[in-house]
Amino acid sequence: MNIRSLPIKNLKKKPGRTAVLLILVIFLSFAVFAGSVTVSSLGNGLSGLERRLGADIIVVPSSARSHVDLEQMLLSGTPGYFYMDKSNLGKVLSVEGVEKASPQYFMASVKAGCCSLKTQIIGFDPDTDFSVTPWISESYQSRLETQDVVVGSDITVPVGGRVRFYDVNCNVVAKLAPTGTGLDTAVYANDDTVKILMQAAADKGMAQTEGDPDTLISAIYIKVADGYDVQTVADYINIYMKKVEAVPARSMLSGISDSLSGISDTIKLLVAAVWILAFVIMIIVFSGLVNERKKEFAVLRVVGMSRKMLARLILTESLILSVIGGVIGIALGAAVVFPFSAAIEARIGLPFLTPGAGTVILLAALSLVAALVAGPAASAYSAYKLSRVDTGVILREGM
Amino acid sequence: MKLEAVNLSRRFTRIKGDANYFTAVSPTDFSLKEGAVTVLMGRSGSGKTTLLNMLGGLLEPSTGSVSVDGRDLYAMDDDERSRFRNRCIGVMPQGHSALSSLTVLENVILPHALYGAGEDAEEYARELLSRFAIADISDVRSSELSGGEARRMTIARALICRPGIILADEPTGDLDDENTVLVLETLRSLADEGASVLIVTHENDAARFADEIYRMDGGTLKKI
Ligand SMILES: Nc1ncnc2c1ncn2[C@@H]1O[C@H](COP(=O)(O)OP(=O)(O)OP(=O)(O)O)[C@@H](O)[C@H]1O
Ligand SMILES: [Mg+2]
């Protein structure tokens, strides 16, 4: 008989009571963990997207604005294309405040025998590019050769494998880290490769433009120099250049970031509501429980337990429940959030990128703390109230 | 050990008529002598349990003091008083007081385990259990006991730390004649070994074992 085993014995003695409290704690920590991982995944998705764009301003032909959903294409990877004359690049470069400008070339592969998959193909100029390269270099350090492609994380072809576009075979040399968006289905190549593919498409009568691939570009990615205002530079381009439109990247993301913060706030509110609700129920359950166990506690005092020891006993019981319930709740939360993150992304239509192990562990620790605080805090009041009353009085009440 | 109460009284707040309090125990002096059995009788509601709880350090008196071997119980802080009660005062509360999540043996060892190793007490616990004829149910959960078995277990539990003072509140309430005599004889023999014993009882038989007999009447204590 060791006094330290008393809390466990008490919990085992009343499995029903213990189960009810456990379920409350599980509920609470599940909500906190699943909720916080979701919120952080959404935030992560957005910042991933921002980093991915890597540009302050994107210049596209005016027609792109009216004909194609630019956001859909750039952010969600919906296959699409548009073109403008290459001379625009020089004009953009001469605009004051433009530090770097690099062209990109868009084309779409088709769902037909000549292509292994229907996807967005994005070409960039390795000499001037600053938006795609840094991010490719995370998984591929060498220079992309002609007919080399780097694929998004959702494309199932393995590194070292081949993909075929308009009957041109390309080597998959690297796979990118996931962004949690439709961009994970895109394919990246250098400009020469894209021109070859455009020519191949034209040869098959599937040309996506009548123009000469050598004189065309799809978009210009701009990095604004320090000390210049992005909006001002974009406005300047929009006023002085014809048939193109300069779109600040921020504004493209603002729609997403708005609905993202809306959803995040809703989730936070929900988590807080669940936590408070479970906490309040726990307070009620504990106070009922302490009431029901008054006689038992009084007897412990009679045989020599001090107020502090009794409070410790009650807190230990609730702490044990909190640890077990917290761990189960977090495990359940993980079992729901991680396997279904793709489904969640599709469902809410927002970038959803599970944070790294470090963040997940931190969130799990915080959720556990939320559970650890709730149990003892909920029982503390009852324990305190009980300790204020003389044992002799409780002995009678409990009879 | 010698227990001494001076001017001890207890009132409870209770709205009744024009008085807003009720005197359960009127101011009284009282003492328990080493090696003696003191029996306290009286009607239900006369204040016996209230007095016993005050003597045991379980109920703060309205006036007066209780001291054991010169140490004032209510001048101690809770930690000190709890520990003191654990070591020196064996209280058998009125009614059921089994801890249902523990077995009979664990119940009995518990007081000893509170401030130290319970293992040391096992031998004595088993001895007490067999003295009260409940050794065969030592591993039974105490929630499964009969009233008389639970009562005898409570008595064994109060004795496990070999207290110098024993306060028994109706210790024979649930017992048959045979066990009543057994319990009273045990308490008597503990007194003979030097303990100060107080027995609250309705049992007229108890008088046989008593050195002193008191009667409580409406909160007023009288020696007989
Ligand atoms: N905590 C309390 N609050 C209010 N009144 C109380 C309290 N404790 C005891 N009393 C009252 O004090 C009186 C004495 O109670 P006590 O329990 O001491 O009687 P008793 O002599 O032990 O009776 P019994 O033989 O039935 O056990 C009773 O009238 C009871 O109602
Ligand atoms: Mg009584």
Q: How many CB atoms lie within 10 A of CB B187?
A: 25
What distances in angstroms separate CA A80 from CA A118, A122, A207, A211, B87, one per listed residue? 11, 10, 13, 17, 86
- The complex's ipTM works out to 0.93
CA gap A343, A337 in Å, rounded = 10
A1–B122 C-beta distance less than 8 A: yes
| Spacing, Cα B26 to ligand 2 middle (Å) | 16
Identify the pLDDT of residue B197: 94
Cα Rg of chain A (Å, integer): 31
Query: Mean of the per-residue pLDDT values for chain B?
Result: 89
Per-residue pLDDT of chain A (399 residues; tens, 9 = 90+): 677 888 888 888 888 888 988 998 898 899 889 988 888 888 888 777 777 777 889 999 988 766 566 777 766 667 788 889 999 999 999 999 999 999 999 888 888 788 888 888 999 998 999 888 887 877 788 888 899 999 988 888 899 999 999 999 999 999 888 777 777 888 999 999 999 998 888 888 887 777 777 888 999 999 999 999 999 999 999 999 988 999 888 877 777 777 778 888 888 888 888 888 888 888 888 888 888 888 888 999 999 999 989 888 888 988 999 999 999 999 999 998 888 777 777 676 677 778 888 989 999 999 999 888 888 888 888 888 888 888 888 887 654
**Which of A1, A12, A396 has the CB atom closest to B109's CB atom?**
A1
pTM for the model: 0.76
Which residue on chain A is closest to B118 by alpha carbon? A1
Helix (H, G, I), strand (E, B) or coil at A386: helix
Identify the pLDDT of residue A98: 92
- Check CB contact of B58 with chain A, cutoff 8 Å: yes
pLDDT in tens, B14-61: 766 666 888 899 999 999 999 999 999 999 989 999 999 999 999 999
Identify the pLDDT of residue B213: 93
Residues with CB under 5 A from ligand 2 (ion): B 48-49, 94
Q: Residues near ligand 1 with C-beta < 6 Å?
A: A 393, 396; B 12, 14, 24, 42, 44-50, 94
CA gap A351, A348 in Å, rounded = 9
Distance from CA of A184 to the nearest CA of B (A): 58
The answer to whether residues A82 and A106 touch, using CB atoms and an 8 Å cutoff, is yes
Identify the pLDDT of residue A74: 67
> CB-side exposure of A347: number of CA atoms within 13 Å?
8
Nearest CA to ligand 1 atom 17: B49
Identify the pLDDT of residue B91: 94
The answer to whether residues B52 and B200 touch, using CB atoms and an 8 Å cutoff, is yes
**Which of B59, B105, B110 has the CB atom closest to A303's CB atom?**
B110
Q: Where in chain B are the domains?
A: 3-223
A306–B78 C-beta distance less than 8 A: yes
CA gap A214, A87 in Å, rounded = 11
Sign of the C-alpha dihedral computed for residues A150, A156, A157 and A159 taken in this order: positive
What distances in angstroms separate CA B45 from CA B8, B23, B40, B204, B216, one per listed residue? 18, 11, 13, 18, 9
The answer to whether residues B74 and B60 touch, using CB atoms and an 8 Å cutoff, is yes
Residue B200: list chain A partners with CB under 8 A.
none
Instruction: Determine the topology of domain B3-223 in CATH.
Output: Rossmann fold (3.40.50)
A295–B114 C-beta distance less than 8 A: no
Q: How many CB atoms lie within 10 A of CB A365?
A: 11
Residues B218, B222, B224, CA angle at the centre, nearest 5°? 130
State in Å, rounded, how far the first CA of chain A is from the last one.
26
Which residue on chain B is closest to A8 by alpha carbon? B101
Q: Where in chain A are the domains?
A: 6-48+256-397, 63-242
CA gap B76, B107 in Å, rounded = 27
The answer to whether residues A43 and A261 touch, using CB atoms and an 8 Å cutoff, is no
Identify the pLDDT of residue A352: 77
pLDDT in tens, B193-209: 889 999 999 888 888 88
Identify the pLDDT of residue A52: 72
Query: How would you class A2 by CB atoms within 10 Å of its CB: exposed for 0-12, middle for 13-18, buried for 19 or more?
Result: exposed
Q: Is beta strand B89-92 parallel, antiparallel or unpaired with respect to B165-169? A: parallel
CA gap B101, A105 in Å, rounded = 75
What distances in angstroms separate CA A7 from CA A4, A73, A245, A296, one per listed residue? 7, 60, 70, 13
Q: Is beta strand A148-151 parallel, antiparallel or unpaired with respect to A168-175? A: parallel
> CB-side exposure of A214: number of CA atoms within 13 Å?
0
What distances in angstroms separate CA A89 from CA A169, A196, A233, one per listed residue? 30, 21, 15
Identify the pLDDT of residue B85: 94
Residue A298: list chain B partners with CB under 8 A.
93
